[in-house]
Amino acid sequence: MEIEGPLLAGRFVERPNRFLTRVEIDGRVIDSHLPDPGRLRELLVPGVEVFLRPVAPESLRKTRYTTVMVKKGHVLISLVSALPNRFVAGELSKRQLPMLADLKLVRAEVPVGRHRFDFLLRDNAGGDFYLEVKSVTYVENGIARFPDAVSERASRHALALADLIKEGQGAGILFVCQRPDATVFSPMEDRDPKFAQSLYRAWRGGVRVWCIATKVTLEKMTYWREIPIMLNGQIIA
């Protein structure tokens, strides 16, 4: 998937609130919107290189830049939490994700009761499959972790998907790691034990769980590989 550019390089200074970063570019500090409300403390450290996208000149938005990537070592990491959904939509339409290649994309943003799931897919026999996509940016010692802050919504989604399984539907959660350096995925039990428990219960109830790592450059995001899932200390897929 192509990433809109061109992007400007800068140095991270501070984060006054969840959706605002201050970045130094050519000796001046500017405010830039941050489209990822997660903690990101391991990534956004003072002096780290970040990449910004200027907003269109005709836009009336107050902040004139968006912070879209950070560089940790030699690895570029996307900070756009909505990017995985757009990426997955494109891959689904082309049937480029191996674990979902037998399913056809029907539509996105599907309301079911009090919930809204990211995608409705359909198999060759006409069976429905509901897919939820989660963005992952945290990786430590090769382990991709989610969430990096408490997410009640993620817990509710996991259990709601399990309810769909009970009703005879298909359901799954796809974690999209917006960086290539992960070798295994595990929920972050220490920061959100409720989600870790909900994910395990959902999987035990029949919800499929996958994680993919992606390669990110300043120009595009591409599928890299599927990585194993570890729940309750055991590799389950």
* C-alpha–C-alpha distance, residues 227 and 222, integer Å: 15
Average pLDDT value for the chain = 95
Place of tokens 């090769």: 142
pLDDT reported for residue 43: 97
List the domain boundaries for the chain: 8-75, 83-235
Is the overall model pTM greater than 0.85, yes or no?
yes
* Average pLDDT value for residue range 170-193: 97
- Class of the CATH-defined domain 8-75: mainly beta
pLDDT > 70 fraction of the chain, expressed in percent and rounded: 100
Q: Which CATH number fits domain 83-235: 3.40.1350.60, 3.40.190.10, 3.30.429.10, 3.40.50.970?
A: 3.40.1350.60
Torsion of CA 24, 30, 31, 34, to 10 degrees: -40
The CA-atom distances, in angstroms, between 4 and each of 21, 41, 89, 221 are 20, 25, 17, 11
Q: Where are the beta strands (DSSP E) in 138-189?
A: 138-140, 143-146, 170-177, 184-187
Backbone angles phi, psi at 90, to 5 degrees: -65, -40
Tens of pLDDT, residues 154-169: 999 999 999 999 999 9
* C-alpha–C-alpha distance, residues 21 and 16, integer Å: 7
Tens of pLDDT, residues 120-145: 999 999 999 999 999 999 999 999 99
**Around Cβ 125, how many Cβ atoms within 10 Å?**
5
172 pLDDT more than 90: yes
Res. 235 pLDDT band, cuts 50 70 90: very high
Tens of pLDDT, residues 49-73: 999 999 988 888 899 999 999 999 9
237 pLDDT more than 80: no
Res. 113 pLDDT band, cuts 50 70 90: confident
